[in-house]
Structure 1
Amino acid sequence: MSRLTLERYQVWAYLIAIGLGLAVGTAWPGIGPAMETLLWPTLAALLFATFFQVPVLHVRDALRDRRFAGAVMLGNFVLLPLLAWALVEVFEFDLVVRLGVLLVLLVPCTDWFITFSQLGKGDVPRAIAITPLNLVLQLILLPLYLWLMADAQSLGSWNWATLAPAVLIVLVPLAAAVLAERWIQTHPKAERFRDTMGWWPVPLLSLVVLLIAGAQVGTVMEAIDQLQKMVPVFVLFLIAAALLAKGIALQLRLPVEQGRTLAFSMGTRNSFVVLPLALLLPAGWEVAAVVIVVQSLVELFGMVAYVWVIPRLLFK
């Protein structure tokens, strides 16, 4: 089996993992703390494997095509945050769900959108080039977005010191990935290590969602009605993102392949980069992490539709 085949059918791996996690958590309720303990090193390994595929040292390369870079920044960091804010306002979610929706919809994907761009006949070199810019900007802008859009009273009640590990579990793998990239630049034969690590995000993410499902099975069952209401919201986001990408591409006169790549960038979100933050929220906010997992599954099914619709109907 090729790596591309694994990534094409990854949604089924995640569904199986969630089912196993829920079954294990239901059968052995006391296993939750152990699964939470295993979750953190697994999540750190996942983030390292993901960041290692991102050419973080080449942010400037993304700016060489200013028109395409401008389209991505306009879509991902202006229009889609406004769309996310509109959705949470219109649907009037409770505070926890609102935060989960904002966390997952405000940050663009830095990994599997490249795979889906390839499957959807997009411009893969530009997808790769724009990825580090997406990563850097989201890390800078996410706190600002949350300050503007989340409930100020509830955010003020948190003990922010308890969220420090969530920041570290993102920044430490990111720093390790940067060091590994520098190492590969000085030792070209080590490029095989990057290729090997490219196989790991799917199995590691499968293990992450299994551990979350097992540890949070009680939360999932209590919030099942709320979670079902999330699905139409995330479907609406996917549809709107594709249409907004089409509008931007027309206005900026992007080539068809670049328009497809823009659509995949805007349609995919960076769920497991914000997952550590959601997992460390105060007691009573556990649903936020489950919302992020639900969005990831909806998005993956949505990408199956994107791969067919984007090149055949929207960007012919």
Structure 2
Amino acid sequence: MLKNRVAKTVSLFTHSTSLLLAAIIVGSIVGLMSPKMGSVAGNYIDPTILALVVLLLFEVPIKGIFKGGANIRFISLAWILNFMVIPLIGFGIASLFLSGKPLFYTGLVIYFMAPCTDWYLGFTRLAKGNVELGATLLPINMISQLVLFPVYLLAFNTVIEYKIDLSVLMDWFIQPLIAAAVLRFCLHRFIDRILPLCSALIPLVLMLLVGQIFAANINELAAHLSIVPLLLFAIFVFFIVTFAVGELVAKVAKLAFPEHCLLTFTTGARNAPLMLGLTTVAMPDQPLIYATITIGMLIEFPHLTALKAIFLRRYKASESAPSLVNREA
């Protein structure tokens, strides 16, 4: 069931770049043509965020996540990379390219610091990686990034001018968490039918949120369009560097192909939807930060698709190698 679900999920997210662009364009047009409608759209951002967070938490599997739990070595390695090494890399790249633009710098740091908790598993499956071990990482990644979110913001000097109300932030996590847990308990008999629907709703709700943000804030964003190429280049550099680091670590640790593949996707995919939701709560009325997180997703999906192609090529090469040896023998 897990394999089928992640395959369906990734098929939705591989088309999300065009959906995301459509949401940005439609939201921007609405905001430019009718600021009043843009303001109305902005008034409904909070309910959309709550819906998105509930769906993300609901999708995290409860059963079967411990199948790969015995591989402590890999889990520790992935955790160190995801929550110690990569946030430092992201901080360095954001500082190098946008240290003079604090709002864009903050958005980049937030985007870089949180590993994905959903679609990376689908790409891992399609690239012949270790899906069961990847499922074990889901709750670990989710809990770790929620706990470390305010820590990173303070450690990387992103919130000098902003005051985070941690009690409000926790309320916005605890309430959706309780709602997701209650829904899972009440609907456990129908979970196999509901999870595909949840997977289909997540990108749609995310696109709605992006459209609302751009509709409500496009007039302010339009004044900073010259920064977008620099943002895109910084994100591109981040993905190249993290891929190189993952390749080095996998080689030094002598990971087998399925674990090597999983390590690449768990370190390469970012959790932009959840970070976008948390950031709108922690830092209200900061559209430039929200836009930066959203822009990251424009490069992320093509990046993950390219990684899938690389690992499928490697997989096919490794499968054909024994047959070539046999022929020569």
Amino acid at match of 2:60: V
Of 75, 78, 85, the residue aligned with 1:72 is 78
Call closer, same or farther: CA 1:289–1:261 in 2, change over 3 Å: same
Q: Supply the distance in 2 between the matched residues of 1:119 and 1:290 (Cα, whole angstroms).
A: 30
2:259 is the alignment partner of 1:258: yes
Deviation of the 1:231 alpha carbon: 0.5
Partner of 2:132 in structure 1? 125
2:29 is the alignment partner of 1:28: no
Call closer, same or farther: CA 1:79–1:50 in 2, change over 3 Å: same
2:116 is the alignment partner of 1:109: yes
**C-alpha RMSD of matched pairs (Å):** 2.4
Q: Supply the distance in 2 between the matched residues of 1:58 and 1:150 (Cα, whole angstroms).
A: 39
Q: Deviations over 1:144-203 (max 9, x none)?
A: 22221124xxx3443434x7544433332222222333345xx43444223322221121
What is the aligned residue count?
A: 308
Q: Supply the distance in 1 between the matched residues of 2:160 and 2:23 (Cα, whole angstroms).
A: 35
Partner of 2:324 in structure 1? none
Amino acid at match of 1:97: F
Call closer, same or farther: CA 1:59–1:135 in 2, change over 3 Å: farther
Partner of 2:209 in structure 1? 208
Call closer, same or farther: CA 1:222–1:168 in 2, change over 3 Å: farther
Structure 1 unaligned blocks of 5 or more = none
Give percent identity, aligned residues only. Answer: 23
Q: Is this contact kept in 2: 1:75–1:248, CA < 8 A?
A: no
2:118 is the alignment partner of 1:85: no
Q: Supply the distance in 1 between the matched residues of 2:12 and 2:20 (Cα, whole angstroms).
A: 12
Q: Supply the distance in 2 between the matched residues of 1:249 and 1:38 (Cα, whole angstroms).
A: 44
Partner of 1:8 in structure 2? 14
Q: Supply the distance in 1 between the matched residues of 2:110 and 2:120 (Cα, whole angstroms).
A: 18
Question: Which one has the largest radius of gyration?
Answer: 2
2:173 is the alignment partner of 1:170: yes
Counterpart secondary structure, 1:52: helix
Query: How do 1:51-70 and structure 2 match up within 5 A?
Result: 51-55=57-61, 63-70=69-76
Counterpart secondary structure, 2:59: coil
Of 180, 184, 207, the residue aligned with 2:183 is 180
In the superposition, the TM-score normalised over structure 1's length comes to: 0.88
Q: Is this contact kept in 2: 1:62–1:133, CA < 8 A?
A: no
Deviation of the 1:102 alpha carbon: 1.0
Q: Is this contact kept in 1: 2:107–2:288, CA < 8 A?
A: yes
Counterpart secondary structure, 1:254: coil
Call closer, same or farther: CA 1:158–1:7 in 2, change over 3 Å: closer
Q: Deviations over 1:66-86 (max 9, x none)?
A: 122012112101110110121
Q: Deviations over 1:40-70 (max 9, x none)?
A: 2122112211211112577765642112201
Deviation of the 1:136 alpha carbon: 0.8
